[in-house]
Amino acid sequence: MTLFYFGPAGLPAGVGTYDEAMERLLALGLNALEVELVHGVRMKPHEAERVGALAVQKGVRLSVHAPYYVNLNSRTAGIVEKSRQRILDSLRRARLLRAGIVVVHAGYYSGSSASEATRSIAEQLARCREEADQEGCSGVLLGLETMGRRASWGTLAEMRGVCSHVERVYPVLDFAHLHARTRGGLGTAEAFALQLERFEEFGAPFLHCHFSGVEYGRGGERRHLEVSVRSPDFELLAPSLRRRGYDVTVISESPLLEKDALLMKTMLEGAEADAAAGRATKVVGGGGGGSWQSKLGQA
């Protein structure tokens, strides 16, 4: 049976502590939380340990988002060094938090070709992995987020070049980013299913994904929007997720963090009810028309 986890990226609205956050999420019927270390790894180790124990006790699945200030393909050696350190610190906290995965924005092309960037990023992540494993962090996976801006490294095709060389590194599907980068490529249920199939080729033990609406332009992602804008449309993804045989965590990165996590959970349950009643899988929307395949081919 597939286990589903839904929750927000960071503390719910109006909540100041992780203890309160977990109470609030459980009261809403949610069971996941991404700990946002995005502006620096400032959480103290003893605090991480305490929050991690509480999460296990409450049944809330934690994940960690590493700092945004990471570029493993920078031309400046000092930046690469600091980036590796930030990822390593995130892995250390994740172990104490008993989180299963650390989500990373690996870097930018920084003037190099995609294959050169992939090579540098693979090399740096291998160093992070090795160092972290020596410190007992081998149980925490490294997750590479599919990126929404065209200047950022991070398509599934590029990730293959890293994941085939470094152990326990897997893609994190950010569907808003995939949609933005392909300028509306996720317009049909088939387009979502294709992304899941491509993800499955990596052999990850579970799917960790991010979802929100997104505004995009020529350069890709502009900003995250509410799930209700249906661009991309979670209802096109829900039936496909239901059919998967592995655990799925959906983190809401919408401005309506926990509210939209709950909305997506409701949509997934709607897909379940449809299937139980023997109704045909709902395929609404469209938009992408017949062009999704070619659009996603570029990603």
Q: Nearest approach, Cβ of 145 to Zn ion (angstroms)?
A: 5
Q: Nearest approach, Cβ of 103 to Zn ion (angstroms)?
A: 6
**Closest to 167 (Cα-Cα) out of 196, 205, 194, 197:** 205
Dihedral in degrees, nearest 10, Cα atoms 232, 222, 103, 115:
100
Q: How many Å apart are CA 206 and CA 209, to the nearest integer? A: 10
Residue nearest to Zn ion (CB): 145
Which element (helix H / strand E) includes 88? helix 77-97
Q: How many Å apart are CA 83 and CA 65, to the nearest integer? A: 14
Q: How many Å apart are CA 106 and CA 73, to the nearest integer? A: 8
Q: Nearest approach, Cβ of 65 to Zn ion (angstroms)?
A: 6
Return the number of the residue (145 or 235) whose C-beta is nearest Zn ion.
145
How far separated are the first and last CA of the chain, in Å rounded?
31
Q: What track of x and - describes contact with Zn ion for positions 93 through 132 (by CB under 5 A)?
A: ----------------------------------------
Q: How many Å apart are CA 272 and CA 270, to the nearest integer? A: 5
Beta-bridged to residue 103, according to DSSP, are 65, 143
Q: How many Å apart are CA 203 and CA 107, to the nearest integer? A: 23
Q: Nearest approach, Cβ of 188 to Zn ion (angstroms)?
A: 25
Q: How many Å apart are CA 297 and CA 150, to the nearest integer? A: 14
20-49 residues in contact with Zn ion (CB under 5 A) are none
Return the number of the residue (192 or 211) whose C-beta is nearest Zn ion.
211
Q: Nearest approach, Cβ of 139 to Zn ion (angstroms)?
A: 22
Return the number of the residue (193 or 206) whose C-beta is nearest Zn ion.
206
Return the number of the residue (174 or 258) whose C-beta is nearest Zn ion.
174
Return the number of the residue (145 or 260) whose C-beta is nearest Zn ion.
145
Q: Nearest approach, Cβ of 99 to Zn ion (angstroms)?
A: 15
Q: How many Å apart are CA 187 and CA 189, to the nearest integer? A: 7
Return the number of the residue (145 or 158) whose C-beta is nearest Zn ion.
145
Return the number of the residue (89 or 145) whose C-beta is nearest Zn ion.
145
Q: How many Å apart are CA 131 and CA 123, to the nearest integer? A: 13
- Count of residues of this chain found to bind Zn ion when the rule CB under 5 A is applied: 1
Q: Nearest approach, Cβ of 209 to Zn ion (angstroms)?
A: 11
Q: How many Å apart are CA 126 and CA 132, to the nearest integer? A: 10
143-182 residues in contact with Zn ion (CB under 5 A) are 145
Q: Nearest approach, Cβ of 134 to Zn ion (angstroms)?
A: 27
Return the number of the residue (168 or 210) whose C-beta is nearest Zn ion.
210
Dihedral in degrees, nearest 10, Cα atoms 151, 39, 92, 6:
-80
127-146 residues in contact with Zn ion (CB under 5 A) are 145
Give contact residues for Zn ion (rule: CB under 5 A).
145
